Amino acid sequence: MTEKLVIIGNGMAPGRALEKLFETDPGRYSVTIFNAEPRVNYDRIMLSPVLSGEKSFEDIIIHGDHWYVENQILLYKGHKVVEIDRENRIVRSEQGATAEYDKLIIATGSVPFIIPVPGHKLAGVLTYRDLDDVHAMMLAAKARGHAVVIGGGLLGLEAAAGLINQGMSVTVLHVNPTLMERQLDPAAGYLLQRELERRGIQVITKANTREILGTDRVEAVLLDDGTRIKADIVIMAVGIRPNGALAREAGLAVNRGIVVTDQMQTSDPAVYALGECAEVGGTCYGLVAPLYQQANIVAAHLGGDHGATFVPQYTATRLKVTGIDLYSVGDFGEGEDREEIVLRDATAGVYKRLILRDEKIIGAVLYGETADGPWFFDMLKNQTDTRAMRDTLIFGHAYQGGSPLDPMAAVAALPDEAEICGCNGVCKGKITGAITAKGLTTLDGVRAHTKASASCGSCTGLVEQLLHATLGDGYSPAAVPPMCACTELGHDDVRRLIIAKSLKSIPQVMQELEWKTSCGCAKCRPALNYYLVADWPGEYEDDGQSRFINERVHANIQKDGTYSVVPRMWGGMTSPKELRAIADVADKFAIPAVKVTGGQRIDLLGVKKEDLPAVWADLNAAGMVSGAAYAKGLRTVKTCVGSDWCRFGTQDSTGFGIRLEKFMWGAWTPAKLKLAVSGCPRNCAEATCKDIGVICVDSGYDIHFAGAAGLDIKGTELLCHADSEDEALEIIVALTQLYREQGRYLERIYKWAKRVGTPSILANVVTDLDKRRAYYDRFVFSQTFAQIDPWEERVNGKDAHEFAAMSEFGMPVAAE
Amino acid sequence: MTNWIEIGNINAIPRRGARCVNTPSGKIAVFRTQEDQIFAMENRCPHRNGPLSEGIVHGASVTCPLHNWVFDLTTGKALGADVGGVRTFPIDVVDGRIFIASEVLAVAAE
């Protein structure tokens, strides 16, 4: 007879307890879970990468629906439990669902603390706790407004970093003088603040919130000192409170949290409490490592093993903001009986501080370089006497013994009990043991079997080094995602091999690189076609059947299957003759809509596919060519009127824009490419959100690049200054060619730039004149094959099959 | 007894491509694969009416140009996570001449 186990809450701690229980006692319990959130168990630690857009919800699911089915768990999604009837051992949800239990686990987690200042109930005041909060923030971020984050602790800063990634401007208010004061000493807190400010986050410390202002919704935050900060949303991230309400109503002992023994039992032995809602030994825990320890104890207890007890342990803290390395553990307050060792490298932004008592490490704060964190932590736990290595201790593990070790050797030298994954409490020996015993060869394998690197992921590098150290050359990291399901190779490998092996057709690529499908898919074929077009100009014959319909028929498909037609208007300039021709075409073919585009030209919408060649013929006759408004290639060069007309214009921005467009039209690029030239820093052509933008100044041309104004909004970065128009043209062309050669298909220029880094771009197209010239020359050569008007070709009969039906059947035949 | 009506020649369709046959009540998309197999189905994606004949043809499947649903040309069923399908029509090819069952045109004209 199975026993009935009911769990209230479906977070990470009960999820872990169940995994453990199913491992040790499969089939002993039939399990029912009530989850107030309408979804499965996910990794709450990873909400920050979801908010910043680096991961999706699917990426952070721990147990998908199938897991519940396989383990025959009855999961009530979106059911909040409102009553525990301990006498009859029944719980009841808001919707009236009931479940009887033999054993009950309360895992209600915590609720965000809301400062009860006036205005805290206004619409737009959010917390940062679950996926719904993240969705609310992402929705608000779409409006690109201003966010105020109250609280400069772990959660608040992760929220701030995520929101700025989403395009909001962000202010962090923190009541203490330095950020994250519970995890960081003031020096590291200051470095962190400086880095966040560098990223555009405004940080105000010693900030006491007096009131949240607004009539219907949040408009501003008012501080005690009278400062008013504009706010479209306010995120409260000042802390959490254990959620013991339900337990209290059920008559269980509750202090700050639900009081439990060191075996996680509440005042009712049939009821356990687990996770952030539980108070064990007078303390409530919030980080994942101690909560997983609790989960293991509950699982053991349910399985009849009453030996395990909760022992408080030090836990290391890391901040999960991409690009900020920060690690702290232990006690880092100052005191008479303590000594400290500090290393500062201001240029590199590195700060390390070790706190010692009686020659033993009791605390460590690392900023900027955190690889030695686990090594220090290990010595802290083992109470290692550091006297012998005192002089070089702060330089880390690699420097012990006189000469620097390579990182692999450092990992290899760690003792088996050194902790690698802080979240899941996995030590080195367990990982290497699993690699050997289970024959693991991948990161995912290690994650599945040991849970190491499966939570916050910050130890991924260490786990990979362990794989490498254990397997030697048998480990090949599959860190690069494959291009599509047809191959294991990533975009960069495919591209490298196309050149290395001189592969010059799609079938040849698929043959030589061992494609798994006979003729690819809609993901890889257009990518391969682009790579071959870009890498073998003049030799490779474009494969139309591997292009999306827009590039195949040189017009943009619309939702009803008609097309839109956009002729080029060089630099946005047009003439009465062109406008007349456009008007005539619109009349002649009864084109239903004519619209001015954002790229300074005119869009004819609703053209029937079979009319396209005739429409083009008329536009060609008036001297117009395809505007390539459909192409992963050069689109527009937007200009202002510059020194021709404008009283502020410093250079001939229109003329330069036209010159650029005439030079570069027809070029295929990894994704669409939009340029602009503004005649002065007032920037009427909006050049600073383009893929490449030029701002004319008195002394010449400032060349900007890597802007975005679509799904993402991002200002450009200044690449360099050019003194003359010729020099500016050469740099822009070389930059475009570098992007053509390095960009992954569909990767816009700002994403490519972020991936390869500005220094390497500078080195190729700005500082090294020979390299610049080589890129420029390759572009010019490629253009000799690219600058053919596709409309004219089709007017003259190319691809005629695209524009006519194969056969027609009228009523009499079909109705026979 | 099926009557077959000729709708075109295999050479009129590019490999890994498609052409349309217009009927009074709608278009039928006729596909030619890399291996010269011919398939016919409704030219209408069940998702948002995308013209399937304009999609990229790979293996014996086609990807809709509007929102990337993928259909098996042999069965008309959506592949992957999407659910749905389009009507397929029997085709006969003799010496490169493509025939479709006459009742298809009759039904299409209803």
CATH of the domain at B66: 2.102.10.10
User: Has residue B41 been placed in a domain?
Assistant: yes
CA distance A572 to A583: 17
- CA-based nearest distance A58→chain B, Å: 14
Which of A515, A545, A554, A556 would you mutate first to test chain B, the one with the most B CBs within 10 A? A545
Chain A residues with CB under 8 Å of B106 CB are 814-816
Nearest to B16 among A526, A545, A807 (CB): A545
| Contact flag A522-B58 (C-beta cutoff 8 Å) | yes
Is residue A684 marked as binding? yes
Q: In terms of DSSP H, where are the helices of A166-260?
A: 186-198, 245-249
User: Has residue B96 been placed in a domain?
Assistant: no
Tokens of A392: 């070089």
Which of B9, B21, B48, B54 would you mutate first to test chain A, the one with the most A CBs within 10 A? B54
Which chain B residue has its CA at the smallest distance from A803's CA?
Answer: B19
- Average pLDDT of span A240-248: 92
Chain A residues with CB under 8 Å of B34 CB are 518-519
pLDDT of residue A319: 73
CA distance A513 to A626: 36
Same fold, A3-110+242-302 and A634-788: no
CB A803 within 8 A of CB A612: yes
Inter-CA distances, B53 with A180, A190, A209, A406, Å = 58, 61, 61, 57
CA distance A32 to A71: 11
- Average pLDDT of span A410-436: 83
- pTM attached to this predicted model: 0.54
Confidence of residue B107 (pLDDT cuts 50, 70, 90): low
Query: CA A484, A487, A489, A494 torsion: positive or negative?
Result: negative
pLDDT of residue A406: 61
Which chain A residue has its CA at the smallest distance from B33's CA?
Answer: A519
- CA-based nearest distance B68→chain A, Å: 8
Give the count of domains, chain B.
1
pLDDT at A293 over 60: yes
| Contact flag B105-A806 (C-beta cutoff 8 Å) | no
Beta-bridge partners for A675: A637, A692
| Contact flag B65-A559 (C-beta cutoff 8 Å) | no
pLDDT tens-digit series, residues A800-809:
999 999 998 8
CA distance A260 to A676: 65
| Mean per-residue pLDDT of chain A | 89
- CA-based nearest distance B20→chain A, Å: 5
User: Has residue B76 been placed in a domain?
Assistant: yes
Q: Burial code of A396-431, b = ≥16 C-beta within 10 A, e = fewer?
A: bbbbbeeeebebeebbbebeeebbbbbbbbbbbebb
Q: Show me where the domains of chain A are located.
A: 3-110+242-302, 114-238, 491-547, 634-788
pLDDT of residue A517: 86
Tokens of A692: 């490449």
pLDDT of residue A449: 81
| Contact flag A561-B17 (C-beta cutoff 8 Å) | no
Which chain B residue has its CA at the smallest distance from A558's CA?
Answer: B66
- CA-based nearest distance A591→chain B, Å: 20
CA distance A228 to A218: 12
pLDDT tens-digit series, residues A325-344:
888 888 777 777 888 888 88
- Looking at per-residue pLDDT, the higher value among A463 and A332 belongs to A463
CA distance A44 to A778: 49
- Average pLDDT of span A192-203: 89
Find how far residue A769's CA is from the centre of its chain.
Answer: 35
| Contact flag A807-B24 (C-beta cutoff 8 Å) | no
Tokens of A513: 């690189």
| Contact flag B63-A561 (C-beta cutoff 8 Å) | no
CB-count burial class (<10 Å; 0-12, 13-18, 19+) for A481: exposed
Tokens of A281: 């030994």
Residues of A within an 8 Å Cβ radius of B: 517-522, 525-526, 544-546, 548-549, 552-553, 557, 559-561, 801, 805-811, 813-816
User: Has residue B5 been placed in a domain?
Assistant: no
CA distance A430 to A444: 15
Confidence of residue A38 (pLDDT cuts 50, 70, 90): confident
Chain A residues with CB under 8 Å of B37 CB are none
pLDDT over 90, % of chain A: 56
- Average pLDDT of span A394-422: 72
Confidence of residue B110 (pLDDT cuts 50, 70, 90): very low
| Backbone phi, psi, residue A782, to 5° | -60, -35
Nearest to A806 among B7, B48, B54 (CB): B7
3-state secondary structure of A569: coil
CA distance A141 to A131: 15
The class (CATH top level) of A634-788 is alpha beta
Nearest to A519 among B16, B21, B54 (CB): B16
pLDDT at A282 over 60: yes
Query: CA A153, A156, A162, A164 torsion: positive or negative?
Result: negative
Nearest to A517 among B24, B50, B59 (CB): B59
| Contact flag A808-B54 (C-beta cutoff 8 Å) | no
What's chain B's Rg over C-alpha atoms?
13
Nearest to B14 among A545, A553, A816 (CB): A545
pLDDT of residue B109: 40
Confidence of residue A737 (pLDDT cuts 50, 70, 90): very high
Is residue A646 marked as binding? yes
Is residue A640 marked as binding? yes
Chain B residues with CB under 8 Å of A560 CB are 49
What is the maximum span of chain A, computed from C-alpha positions, in angstroms? Answer: 103
DSSP string, A525-553: HHHHHHHHHHHSTTTSPP-GGGS-HHHHH
Nearest to A816 among B15, B19, B102 (CB): B102
Inter-CA distances, A301 with A3, A103, A195, A261, A282, Å = 14, 11, 46, 12, 21
- Average pLDDT of span A717-746: 96
pLDDT tens-digit series, residues A716-727:
999 999 999 999
CA distance A156 to A643: 48
pLDDT over 90, % of chain B: 73
Nearest to A519 among B54, B58, B68 (CB): B58
What amino acid is encoded at A39 in this protein? R
User: Has residue B109 been placed in a domain?
Assistant: no
Tokens of A779: 């572009």
pLDDT tens-digit series, residues A560-600:
989 999 999 999 999 999 999 999 999 999 999 999 999 99
- CA-based nearest distance B94→chain A, Å: 17
Question: Which range among A49-53, A668-672, A743-747, B30-34 shows the weakest confidence by mean pLDDT?
Answer: A49-53
Residues 6 or more apart whose Cβ sits within 8 Å of residue A501: A512
CB A617 within 8 A of CB A565: no
pLDDT at A424 over 80: no
Starting at the edge strand found earlier in the chain, the sheet holding A673-678 runs A634-639, A673-678, A692-697, A700-705, A717-722
Residues of B within an 8 Å Cβ radius of A: 5, 7-8, 12-17, 19-25, 27, 30, 34-35, 48-51, 54-59, 63, 65-66, 68, 70, 102, 105-106, 108-109
pLDDT of residue A118: 94
CA distance A353 to A368: 12
Chain A residues with CB under 8 Å of B56 CB are 521-522, 525-526, 545-546, 548
User: Has residue B8 been placed in a domain?
Assistant: no
Torsion of CA A661, A667, A670, A674, to 10 degrees: 10
CA distance A308 to A328: 28
Chain A residues with CB under 8 Å of B65 CB are 548-549, 557
Chain B residues with CB under 8 Å of A517 CB are 58-59
Q: Which fold has domain A114-238?
A: FAD/NAD(P)-binding domain (3.50.50)
pLDDT tens-digit series, residues A623-638:
999 999 999 999 999 9
| Contact flag A807-B21 (C-beta cutoff 8 Å) | yes
- Average pLDDT of span B70-77: 95
CA distance A627 to A507: 31
Residues 6 or more apart whose Cβ sits within 8 Å of residue A620: A789, A791, A792, A795
Range of the domain at B62: 14-89
Architecture of domain A3-110+242-302: 3-Layer(bba) Sandwich (3.50)
pLDDT tens-digit series, residues A14-37:
999 999 999 888 889 999 999 998
Q: Among residues A109, A166, A101, which one has the least CA distance to residue A135?
A: A166
pLDDT at B10 over 90: yes
| Contact flag B14-A520 (C-beta cutoff 8 Å) | no
Q: Burial code of A137-147, b = ≥16 C-beta within 10 A, e = fewer?
A: bbebbeeebbb
pLDDT at A7 over 90: yes
| Contact flag B24-A811 (C-beta cutoff 8 Å) | yes
| Backbone phi, psi, residue A603, to 5° | -110, 125
Which chain B residue has its CA at the smallest distance from A800's CA?
Answer: B12
| Contact flag B108-A814 (C-beta cutoff 8 Å) | yes
